[in-house]
Amino acid sequence: MSSADAGDDLYSLNAAKLMMPGSTMKVVTLAAAAELLGWDHRFETRIVSSAPLDDGVLRGDLVIVGSGDPSISERGDMPGTLRAIARRVRDAGVARIEGGVIGDDDLFDDNGFGDGWTLDNLPYGYAATVSALEYNEGSVDLVIQAGTTAGDPVAIQVRPDGSGLHVDNRLVTVAEPGTGALRLRRLPGSSRLVVEGQIPAKAAPFVRTASVDNPTGFFASAFRAALTAEGITVNGDAADIDDFLTKPDRTAARVLVSHVSLPLRDIAASMMRVSQNQYAEALLRSIGGRDKAVNVLKGWGLANDSYVIADGSGLSRYNYVSSEALVRILRRMRTDPKHESPFSESLPIAGRDGPLSKRLAGTPAEGRVRAKTGTVDNARAITGYAQTVGGELLIFSILANNFTVPPGTIDAAADNAILRLTAFTR
């Protein structure tokens, strides 16, 4: 823990020890991405075709070229719904497509998993594979509706359409009030999603997210449906460009529609406040991967042995970082004028929003702390800035691993430490 204003260290315990950071790894990813891309960076998704357009008829395929934009989704407030993009294709004069809709994800390699992601995580939306052509964060919502009495079937609605998932519903309704449990199972490369568990009778409907097997195919299929919904006839099927033995020649392709994302500063705020893993993974790939992030950290003077980068999101248990390294990164973000405001504003506020909406609420720390939390099995972390009663800004990083007490006990200890920081005076 150190002062961002005075630059001196106030307290240190095992600060150089490598620890699993959980989602506080997103601090590292965002800092490197902001340095290399800039806060005004926007992702461009292009709708192109090499086929002639004759009197409203496109005499061939429509190709969607991805740039790694993670924000095209039906969730949240990002302005990237597929219907809106499809409407622009219609406005460009396309009334019928004689070919199909092809998703081009070649900007990224096809290994969409982070190193060390575990098999039991992969069916869930938070562990969806990452593609250069990403829709709905590569996942769908499963809307779960229990029956009214024990033994009744449980209904599952999958939204949006086009995921390619085949749901094997093994959920059962149990007596009210019962103990609820839900588990997802799906193997990589398979579209069969097993949903099993028990839901108490008359339980209110709820939503769980599930990853799709092929995010690029999901995008293409959903976009084909959006084109149809906007009155455009599509004769061909939706396909991933990797489905072709010989990939379509785009050398003479012209851009029909260009969709540009919000700037990185807005994407970052969304990523950090909901701890969105796929956003972080897309950012790491967009800057060129781990080696590029390492080069940034080296340029800031961080020692090679103070971090290990396995993925961008923190889902992997192969990530390691010292609290000292995190504090140095936060100090860099604070002291560099181009980073200070957008980075700080991306962090959740204690007692107000994101994962911190309930933590430290109603205490003197509410509204005075901006921080990123991290959680994986047997790891809890919180890293950020705290404003003292005297107006001084302090930087802190608290990492805990391999504990046997309940996670809430760790959080309570961290919160007590943060309260001490906000009450600190010289």
Q: What is the pLDDT of residue 77?
A: 58
23 catalytic? Reply is yes
In the structure encoding, which two tokens stand for residue 257, read together?
A: 């529609």
Whether the predicted pLDDT of 246 surpasses 90 = no
The answer to whether residue 73 is catalytic is no
Active-site position among 2, 67, 275, 286? 275
Burial call 364-389: b when 16+ CB within 10 Å, e when fewer: ebbebbbbbbbbbeebbbbbbbbbbe
Closest CA to 304 of 294, 296, 314: 294
Which residue is listed with tokens 């990185």? 264
Summarize pLDDT for 98-133 with one digit per residue, the tens.
999 999 999 998 888 989 999 999 999 999 999 999
- Give the dihedral of Cα atoms 143, 195, 129, 357; nearest 10 deg: 50
- Closest by CA position to 413, among listed 27, 18, 13: 13
Of 23, 286, 306, 316, catalytic: 23
Degrees to nearest 5, angle at CA 71 with 66 and 73: 100
* pLDDT recorded at residue 250: 78
- Please give the helix or strand (H or E) that residue 384 lies within, else none: strand 379-387
Alpha carbon distance 215, 64 (integer Å): 13
Task: Provide the pLDDT confidence category of residue 245 given band limits of 50, 70 and 90.
Answer: confident
Residue 214 corresponds to which tokens in the numbers above? 């092929």
The residue with tokens 């906000």 is 422
Q: What b/e sequence results for 225-252 when a residue is b if at least 16 CB atoms lie within 10 Å of its CB, and e otherwise?
A: bbbeebebebeeebbbbeeeeeebebee
Active site residue 26: yes
Q: What is d(CA 7, CA 77) in angstroms, rounded to the nearest whole number?
A: 38
pTM for this predicted structure: 0.94
Catalytic residue among 2, 26, 316, 323: 26
* pLDDT at 290 (0 to 100): 95
Quickly state the pLDDT bin for 360 (edges 50, 70, 90): very high
The 10s digit of each residue's pLDDT in 146-171 is: 989 988 999 999 998 889 999 999 99
User: Per-residue confidence at 202, pLDDT binned at 50, 70, 90?
Assistant: confident
Residue 166 is inside which H or E element, if any?
strand 166-174
pLDDT digits (tens, 9 = 90+) for 307-341: 999 999 999 999 999 999 999 999 999 999 999 99
Find out whether 154 and 171 touch, Cβ atoms under 8 Å: yes
80: confidence class by pLDDT, cuts 50, 70, 90: low
Task: Band the pLDDT of 66: cuts 50, 70, 90.
Answer: very high
Q: How many residues does the chain have?
A: 426
Q: What is the DSSP letter of 418?
A: H
- Please answer whether residues 10 and 394 qualify as being in contact, where contact means their C-beta atoms are separated by less than 8 angstroms: yes
